[in-house]
Structure 1
Amino acid sequence: MEDIRRLVETHAPSHGLFPTALDGVSVYRKTTPNPRQPAVMPPLLNIVVQGTKWAHLDATTYRYGAGTYICAPTTLPIESEAPQASEEQPILGVQILLNTRAVTELLVDLAEHTPPRRPSPANGPELAPTVVEWDDTFTSALQLLLVLLDDDARRRALGPGRLRELLYLVLAGPAGSSLWHTIGRSHDLNHTIGFIRDHLDQPLSIDDLAQRAGMSRPVFDRRFRRATSYAPLQFIKALRLNAAATLITRGSDITTAANDVGYASPAQFSRDFKRHYGQPPKQWSRTAAAIGPTA
């Protein structure tokens, strides 16, 4: 673990998220604490090598700290929390996006030899995140991947294979069933969620979304809630408000943020925002400015 921590520290020299030359792989350092606040989590693998973070989805809290990773198989409206980050004890980690060609190609190759696994209903919503504790094999694979960042020639020659090895371990582990069920099996609801994410600034009809998913409205409503724990309208509103709050945190003005997530009425946006977060957008903007940027 110490060698991995040093590698992340070297390639994330200050607060922020730093893309690497490996497909979909970034490293990060978080030096400022942030209270619980909204965020939009894309399909990703977030591997923590120092510190602790929390993600809140509906009524469920996911704690992931050093020696664990969280795997999110689809875009989700969450609330994130990292109250203990500091310059002296930063949160360090590796982020790997899961909507990349490398993941898709691996799943296609494996599908010929490995029967896909379905998530168990007892484990919660089908598309919910999974927190996994590393084992020694994963630790070794992660270190072998990160060490390539110091050598361009070795990275170009060995990087894709080592990334596939790490992703294979995720697929073979506790988070694998949710990935098979979404990315690996072209899950209809996963594609619908991707469409929602990419069209937040446009009107979204539940009937149209159900048709896009190839389901009747009642079946769509039932399956969506089972997969995400949200009703479709509730999910869209949460995703819009979380995206707007994130834009405001990054410096966007309130009107622009509202427009960017599909609100034509600033008054309606303010009402929904206050109802959802307990404070109006202007107060949120002042609070976000005091907290500063997050990673």
Structure 2
Amino acid sequence: MSKQEIKKLIESKVDEDGMVGIGIKGVSLFRVSNSVRCAPAVYEPCIVAIVSGSKEAILDAQHYIYDEQQYLCCSMTMPVEAGTPNASPDNPLLGVMVSLDTKVMTELAIEMASGAGSSQKLRTQMPKHRSISQGLTLSSWDEGFTDALYRLLQLAESSADSSVLGDGRLRELYYAIMKGGAGESARRAFGVGNEIARSIEYLSSRLDEGVTIEDMALQVGMSRAALHRKFKEATSMSPIQFVKAMRLNTAAMKIAGGVNVNVAAQEVGYVSSSQFSREFKRMYGQSPKEWRNIKSH
């Protein structure tokens, strides 16, 4: 099944800028026809597949541009900067975002790991991919992924089909991801030994509580030193850098959405507004108030 068929399907459903659901939980089509500079964001576990145009992601000051040649797999919650610098009315960005259900992905990872000889077989089958970190991977579209994605999006034609077949088609897509170029990072995040993903999930649900690195290590039964080492491998950032990026990115998103600067700071665990302003400016080159004023125009 060619990507061209997927592109036609998306074009038939999205005729203006924005995101459109297709009646299946976690599946959205999107279109962007204006250049958007990279801005702070927090990616939840998902895949982003582009059929026209390109997107940019920045992680730990490294820039990554991906288009219809590779899809992005985010297998754990990650603080990034994202944008569409090359989008234009003549060359709009078109694609699909699919959230990854943690429960289903974990079930698949465990089932695949328990299959006789499955780990070695999957390693030899994996196509080439570009690993940004264990949490973010750019993977080539293989036949299994392309076919599974098209079968999923076809359900947009019928609400009855979506209701009856949606969960099964999603599981089929997840399985294709697990078998593809992003499979190794996905299995690490969702399978046995997923301590880093679990520590990030713990942090993400408690940003306002001032969670410490010791709290995160204790939650997953690791020493601080072990957490630091594995965290760096999985995210390319130290735990301290990651926690700061999660808090500041989340605050930046809140401020851009109209939340008061001091309230945003408190909601991501900052007690001192001066410390928040100082770290925010160091991260983004603008004070929180300057950021708010730019985003409000």
- Write the distance in 1 (CA, Å) between the matches of 2:177 and 2:189: 14
Q: Which residue of 2 aligns with 1:250?
A: 257
- Write the distance in 2 (CA, Å) between the matches of 1:25 and 1:45: 10
Q: Which residue of 2 aligns with 1:230?
A: 237
The one-character-per-residue Cα deviations of 1:75-105 (angstroms, maximum 9, x if unpaired) are: 1111112112234432111111123443333
Secondary structure at the aligned position of 2:211 is classed as coil
Q: Which residue of 2 aligns with 1:72?
A: 74
Q: Percent identity?
A: 39
1:198 counterpart (197, 205, 209): 205
Q: Which residue of 2 aligns with 1:143?
A: 150
2:84 counterpart (79, 82, 85): 82
Secondary structure at the aligned position of 2:51 is classed as strand
Normalized against structure 2, the TM-score is what?
0.88
State the Cα distance separating 1:129 from its structure 2 match. 1.0
The one-character-per-residue Cα deviations of 1:191-229 (angstroms, maximum 9, x if unpaired) are: 000111111111212222211121122222222222222
Deviates more, 1:134-143 or 1:272-281: 134-143
Q: Which residue of 2 aligns with 1:158?
A: 165
Deviates more, 1:19-28 or 1:33-42: 19-28
- Write the distance in 2 (CA, Å) between the matches of 1:100 and 1:224: 19
State the Cα distance separating 1:130 from its structure 2 match. 1.0
Residue pair 2:66, 2:72 contacting (<8 A) in 1 also: yes
Equivalent residue letter for 2:114: E
Distance 1:215 1:136, change over 3 A: closer
Deviates more, 1:73-82 or 1:23-32: 23-32
- Write the distance in 2 (CA, Å) between the matches of 1:161 and 1:62: 32
Residue pair 1:62, 1:131 contacting (<8 A) in 2 also: no
Q: Which residue of 1 aligns with 2:119?
A: 115
Deviates more, 1:272-281 or 1:30-39: 30-39
State the Cα distance separating 1:186 from its structure 2 match. 5.2
Q: Which 4+ residue blocks in structure 1 deviate beyond 6 angstroms?
A: 116-119
Secondary structure at the aligned position of 2:101 is classed as coil
Q: Which residue of 1 aligns with 2:222?
A: 215
Q: Which residue of 2 aligns with 1:26?
A: 28
Matched, 1:14 2:21: no
The one-character-per-residue Cα deviations of 1:219-267 (angstroms, maximum 9, x if unpaired) are: 2222222222212111111111111111122222222221211112222
State the Cα distance separating 1:60 from its structure 2 match. 2.9
Distance 1:253 1:154, change over 3 A: same
Deviates more, 1:169-178 or 1:8-17: 8-17
- Write the distance in 1 (CA, Å) between the matches of 2:100 and 2:142: 21
Q: Which residue of 2 aligns with 1:49?
A: 51
Equivalent residue letter for 2:38: R
Q: Which residue of 2 aligns with 1:177?
A: 184
Distance 1:10 1:186, change over 3 A: farther
Normalized against structure 1, the TM-score is what?
0.88
Deviates more, 1:6-15 or 1:281-290: 6-15
2:247 counterpart (225, 230, 240): 240
Equivalent residue letter for 1:135: D
Aligned residues: 287
Structure 2 segments unaligned to the other structure (5+ residues): none
- Write the distance in 2 (CA, Å) between the matches of 1:102 and 1:209: 24
- Aligned-residue Cα RMSD (Å) equals 2.3
Equivalent residue letter for 1:115: S
Equivalent residue letter for 1:77: P
Q: Which residue of 2 aligns with 1:38?
A: 40
The one-character-per-residue Cα deviations of 1:154-202 (angstroms, maximum 9, x if unpaired) are: 2233333322222212111110001111112251111000111111111
- Write the distance in 2 (CA, Å) between the matches of 1:80 and 1:249: 14
Residue pair 1:125, 1:227 contacting (<8 A) in 2 also: no
- Write the distance in 2 (CA, Å) between the matches of 1:50 and 1:253: 37
Structure 1 segments unaligned to the other structure (5+ residues): 291-295
- Write the distance in 2 (CA, Å) between the matches of 1:255 and 1:86: 36
- Write the distance in 2 (CA, Å) between the matches of 1:261 and 1:98: 24
Greater relative CO, 1 or 2 (CA 8 Å, sep 6+): 1
Residue pair 1:46, 1:95 contacting (<8 A) in 2 also: yes
Residue pair 1:23, 1:102 contacting (<8 A) in 2 also: no
